[in-house]
A and B are shown apart, each in its own frame.
Chain A
């Protein structure tokens, strides 16, 4: 761009004379391709540059259902959604306003997923339109019969034609071309973009960098010359150093920080990438990732390691969680500390492996036979994914119990910047206690008030005892006398109450009282709070609260609920619609947190839940809030 072709618009942004500049506070972009065409790399690079320039960013992966889906099919749509703005962005948002599509079929997929704004701008590869292959031409025409009827602004881009001037296989080049286009549209700092390309291809040759850099320039140049608009999203100076990662990487880093040494797992989507990340780095920090022969063994190895030394952890998703059940009961019964990370997917059964759902809460809470009290925590942001593991390890050890971390596919694959945490060596668990056990101390010397007791670790002289999953007394002796079981149950349960006594009542987002309180847990927090903010701006008396602890529940809920006309959970799990056939107030199956809150608070909590296999949108939550308030009063 030379001075002669640029001018300054009112805000000081330089533009070619013919370009119109749209000033907005945020935008939502999607890049979709066949899998293997690298749209994800493009999107991630673009997202990283936005974060570096001081935008709030949230990216969501668009994952095809199969590993190698056929080319040019809606099922193969692969890519990234990037929502970025001037302020912080806490969720994937509503509709995409700008889409880069590598073919019309993947665009159709996004249309069918209701992902696109009615007036979205679509930059689409046009090599298919007049393709030699007649079926492809027909498919294009066919697709545009649907696409063309909408209010989209469609801009055809000769991506393939231009990329062929640089690479032989355009499937390996369009992504950086697209990156260049986006950088031009959103006026991204080219230096930073180039640095990002260098980072992306850091393990590759200079030649590969050069080629990708050229492709970027090509896309950038094309957009500058051919597009009549640009979009300006003000950035702000980055004050604190930020980290960018997805929730699974954050969980893995949390494990490193917590001082745990063993991650014992069996591969399962969407949890596996925690172990991928750790497999790469854990050994630098003295840890190992053990890929067990199945989830049962994964749990057993973790429990064996915890019993013999430091707290270990296992990471899984729904079907794996089901297999671990018996071992988790054993850990609870024998008070072996353990951290279990469940990155929830849609269920039941194999369900929706790559998609978000929050359907494991009750399975985790009540899923073991017998009374099995445990701690359940749900991080609500990617930053919390990091910190929650440190807390979980501490609680597991202090309370000699199983601590579940319920994450989900939304956090697992969402990427957002957060301030670099201030590290603290006290996060790191010390080596196992090997000092002699004081005379007279018993392996389950429960404090009768708190149920807490000191754990004996092999190697401690005088500590010998046989742990058993059978009912046992303070000496770990198997005893079936009625009082023994009652006391042991009480002691294990009491610990949960003691933990609750250390928690603070949650602070609502919005106000302390009003017409409706939305209660959520986990990854829906950002979307719920955004919806509440809009509702309040509209004058509605709505607030929300996010619960990090699901077991024990955070204190003060009943009091908090009493200050609102209605209380409603918003969750990504199934509930019956009130007006569906056969459904009555009595037989209605409600959302999982809703069910729990009703049982624990005796408040008539309602729920609005959806299982679309996609993150909840603020706009839909907003509608639910409006509807609840319109309904007036309690459900």
Chain B
């Protein structure tokens, strides 16, 4: 994607060859085996592939293990407050449509405390890439039930097993008016993850990617079966979907799904199960930051508007 800067004195980005290392921040401090490491590598690869200028790229996150993400990159980062990555991202994008914006959230972040913003940001359909790192648990605060924790799974706040059926982030997002991109992938399928990020980044709109993320510390058993037994994972295949030969080779269960079919997407999402692929994409959905884009102005032009307002209120 070529970003055009609308700012009057915007600096031009020098022609540099960025390698993956150029995006590398300090060493990531997630636990060994944490799925977040794999997401970070795929993201760095995406940045390098698209030669995104580090200074024109912003990663916004909330609070949680997953929200440490921006610290481990050499781009601009905004490690904000729990649940509120999306409003901040929307603000960044409203002010600066020229920047590449990524939002990184945990399941508590996005689906619990930030659930209101999730609905509305989906509807705003601001052009950004949204990564939900879903480990089905509150990681940072040590194993409390999250909205996506499977029913019956024992946690520190629900030691007799989580009471309610888990919330399904895909059906929620697909149910929101103006949702434009919904995909699911997994940290243990790095090539599929990468291809998904490619598709999400290419999409002009709010690209929502739910990433099933292993947390070996608190939820080690949850994704174990899927990781060990490829037959338990199905892949959505379609010529306009997300394609990765290796993934399709490994997982023999294929579901033919046209990502422009919203009804089918909702139906597939509703069925649950481990499914990787593009559920839905609609490039025609209106984008809030475009609808609201304003032309740049000079101080003199603004003062002229003010004088007009004074005239209107003069006696």
Q: Could you tell me the distance between the alpha carbons of A436 and B63 in the complex, rounded to whole angstroms? A: 30
With A48-B315, A478-B71 already in contact, the answer to whether A259 and B76 are too (CB < 8 A) is: no
Q: Could you tell me the distance between the alpha carbons of A300 and B114 in the complex, rounded to whole angstroms? A: 12
Q: Give chain B interface residues in 279-315, CB to chain A under 8 Å.
A: 292, 294-297, 299-303, 305-310, 313-315
Asked if A304 and B91 sit within 8 Å, CB to CB, the answer is yes
Stretch binding the partner chain, chosen from B78-86, B151-159, B245-253, B267-275 = B78-86
Partner of B296, one of A48, A431, A460, A464: A431
Query: Which residues of chain A come closer than 8 Å to B315, judged between CB atoms?
Result: 48, 51-52, 238, 242-244, 417
Asked if A458 and B306 sit within 8 Å, CB to CB, the answer is no
With A300-B88, A478-B71 already in contact, the answer to whether A425 and B300 are too (CB < 8 A) is: yes
Asked if A464 and B76 sit within 8 Å, CB to CB, the answer is yes
B94 interface residue, CB < 8 Å from A? yes
B150 interface residue, CB < 8 Å from A? no
Asked if B303 and A425 sit within 8 Å, CB to CB, the answer is yes
Q: Could you tell me the distance between the alpha carbons of A434 and B90 in the complex, rounded to whole angstroms? A: 20
A420 interface residue, CB < 8 Å from B? yes
Asked if B91 and A243 sit within 8 Å, CB to CB, the answer is no
Q: Could you tell me the distance between the alpha carbons of A466 and B8 in the complex, rounded to whole angstroms? A: 25
CB of B22, distance to nearest CB on chain A (Å): 10
B189 interface residue, CB < 8 Å from A? no
Asked if A467 and B302 sit within 8 Å, CB to CB, the answer is no
Q: Could you tell me the distance between the alpha carbons of A166 and B299 in the complex, rounded to whole angstroms? A: 50
Q: Could you tell me the distance between the alpha carbons of A287 and B81 in the complex, rounded to whole angstroms? A: 27
Asked if A466 and B90 sit within 8 Å, CB to CB, the answer is no
A307 interface residue, CB < 8 Å from B? yes
Asked if A458 and B116 sit within 8 Å, CB to CB, the answer is no
Query: Which residues of chain B come closer than 8 Å to A283, judged between CB atoms?
Result: 294
Q: What residue in chain A is nearest B55 (Cβ atoms)?
A: A461
Asked if A296 and B87 sit within 8 Å, CB to CB, the answer is yes
With A284-B305, A293-B116 already in contact, the answer to whether A460 and B11 are too (CB < 8 A) is: yes
Query: Which residues of chain A come closer than 8 Å to B9, judged between CB atoms?
Result: 430-431, 434
Partner of B92, one of A242, A307, A434: A307
A151 interface residue, CB < 8 Å from B? no
B89 interface residue, CB < 8 Å from A? yes
Query: Which residues of chain A come closer than 8 Å to B95, judged between CB atoms?
Result: 261-262, 304-306, 308-310, 312
Asked if B89 and A249 sit within 8 Å, CB to CB, the answer is no
CB of A67, distance to nearest CB on chain B (Å): 26
Q: Could you tell me the distance between the alpha carbons of A436 and B295 in the complex, rounded to whole angstroms? A: 24
Q: Give chain B interface residues in 106-137, CB to chain A under 8 Å.
A: 116-117, 119-120
Asked if B116 and A294 sit within 8 Å, CB to CB, the answer is yes
How many residues of A sit at the interface, in one of the four size bands? 35 or more
Asked if B55 and A296 sit within 8 Å, CB to CB, the answer is no
With A262-B95, A284-B305, A304-B89 already in contact, the answer to whether A467 and B78 are too (CB < 8 A) is: yes
Asked if A459 and B11 sit within 8 Å, CB to CB, the answer is yes
Asked if A253 and B88 sit within 8 Å, CB to CB, the answer is no
Count contacts between A and B, CB distance < 8 Å.
220
CB of B34, distance to nearest CB on chain A (Å): 18
With A304-B90, A465-B76 already in contact, the answer to whether A256 and B296 are too (CB < 8 A) is: no
B200 interface residue, CB < 8 Å from A? no
Partner of B55, one of A48, A242, A245, A462: A462
Partner of B87, one of A292, A306, A431, A460: A292
Q: What residue in chain B is nearest A283 (Cβ atoms)?
A: B294
Q: Could you tell me the distance between the alpha carbons of A29 and B32 in the complex, rounded to whole angstroms? A: 76
Asked if A428 and B84 sit within 8 Å, CB to CB, the answer is no
A297 interface residue, CB < 8 Å from B? yes
Partner of A253, one of B26, B294, B309: B309
Query: Which residues of chain B come closer than 8 Å to A221, judged between CB atoms?
Result: none
Q: What is the interface of chain A mostly: helix, strand, loop, or mixed?
A: mixed
Asked if B313 and A467 sit within 8 Å, CB to CB, the answer is no
Asked if B7 and A431 sit within 8 Å, CB to CB, the answer is yes
A498 interface residue, CB < 8 Å from B? no
A234 interface residue, CB < 8 Å from B? no
Q: Could you tell me the distance between the alpha carbons of A306 and B60 in the complex, rounded to whole angstroms? A: 14
With A308-B96, A458-B55 already in contact, the answer to whether A249 and B302 are too (CB < 8 A) is: no
Q: What residue in chain A is nearest B83 (Cβ atoms)?
A: A296
Asked if B92 and A458 sit within 8 Å, CB to CB, the answer is yes
| A258-284 vs B, Cβ < 8 Å mask (1 yes, 0 no) | 010110100000000000000001011
Q: Give chain A interface residues in 159-211, CB to chain B under 8 Å.
A: none
Query: Which residues of chain A come closer than 8 Å to B81, judged between CB atoms?
Result: 326-327, 330, 469
Asked if B99 and A464 sit within 8 Å, CB to CB, the answer is no
Q: Could you tell me the distance between the alpha carbons of A303 and B315 in the complex, rounded to whole angstroms? A: 38
Asked if A301 and B91 sit within 8 Å, CB to CB, the answer is yes
Q: Could you tell me the distance between the alpha carbons of A427 and B79 in the complex, rounded to whole angstroms? A: 32
B54 interface residue, CB < 8 Å from A? yes
Q: Could you tell me the distance between the alpha carbons of A239 and B293 in the complex, rounded to whole angstroms? A: 42
Q: What residue in chain A is nearest B79 (Cβ atoms)?
A: A468
Asked if A458 and B56 sit within 8 Å, CB to CB, the answer is yes
CB of B27, distance to nearest CB on chain A (Å): 13
Query: Which residues of chain A come closer than 8 Å to B56, judged between CB atoms?
Result: 458-459
Q: What residue in chain A is nearest B70 (Cβ atoms)?
A: A466
With A293-B120, A464-B74 already in contact, the answer to whether A458 and B99 are too (CB < 8 A) is: yes
CB of B169, distance to nearest CB on chain A (Å): 18
CB of A198, distance to nearest CB on chain B (Å): 14
Asked if B71 and A309 sit within 8 Å, CB to CB, the answer is no
B10 interface residue, CB < 8 Å from A? yes
Q: Could you tell me the distance between the alpha carbons of A464 and B299 in the complex, rounded to whole angstroms? A: 28
A257 interface residue, CB < 8 Å from B? yes
CB of A213, distance to nearest CB on chain B (Å): 20
With A458-B56, A459-B11 already in contact, the answer to whether A286 and B302 are too (CB < 8 A) is: yes
Q: Could you tell me the distance between the alpha carbons of A259 and B306 in the complex, rounded to whole angstroms? A: 11
A615 interface residue, CB < 8 Å from B? no
Partner of A461, one of B13, B297, B303, B310: B13
A441 interface residue, CB < 8 Å from B? no
Asked if A458 and B303 sit within 8 Å, CB to CB, the answer is no
Query: Which residues of chain A come closer than 8 Å to B70, judged between CB atoms?
Result: 466
CB of B311, distance to nearest CB on chain A (Å): 9
Q: Could you tell me the distance between the alpha carbons of A615 and B314 in the complex, rounded to whole angstroms? A: 26
| A420-434 vs B, Cβ < 8 Å mask (1 yes, 0 no) | 110111111011101
B98 interface residue, CB < 8 Å from A? yes
Q: Could you tell me the distance between the alpha carbons of A253 and B306 in the complex, rounded to whole angstroms? A: 7
Q: What residue in chain A is nearest B296 (Cβ atoms)?
A: A286
B75 interface residue, CB < 8 Å from A? yes
Query: Which residues of chain A come closer than 8 Å to B308, judged between CB atoms?
Result: 284
Partner of A458, one of B26, B58, B80, B314: B58
20 inter-chain pairs at a CB distance below 8 angstroms, sorted by A residue, are: A243-B310, A262-B95, A287-B294, A292-B87, A297-B117, A300-B84, A301-B87, A301-B94, A303-B88, A303-B91, A304-B60, A304-B90, A305-B95, A424-B303, A436-B11, A458-B99, A459-B5, A459-B11, A461-B11, A469-B79
New contact pairs (18) apart from A286-B301, A330-B81, CB-CB < 8 Å: A259-B302, A261-B95, A285-B297, A286-B296, A292-B87, A301-B88, A309-B95, A420-B310, A425-B303, A427-B303, A431-B10, A458-B58, A461-B14, A463-B55, A464-B75, A465-B77, A467-B79, A469-B81
Closest 4 CB pairs of A and B: A304-B91, A300-B87, A466-B77, A305-B95
**Chain B residues packing against A (C-beta within 8 Å):** 5, 7-11, 13-14, 25-26, 53-56, 58-60, 63, 70-71, 73-81, 84, 86-96, 98-99, 116-117, 119-120, 292, 294-297, 299-303, 305-310, 313-315
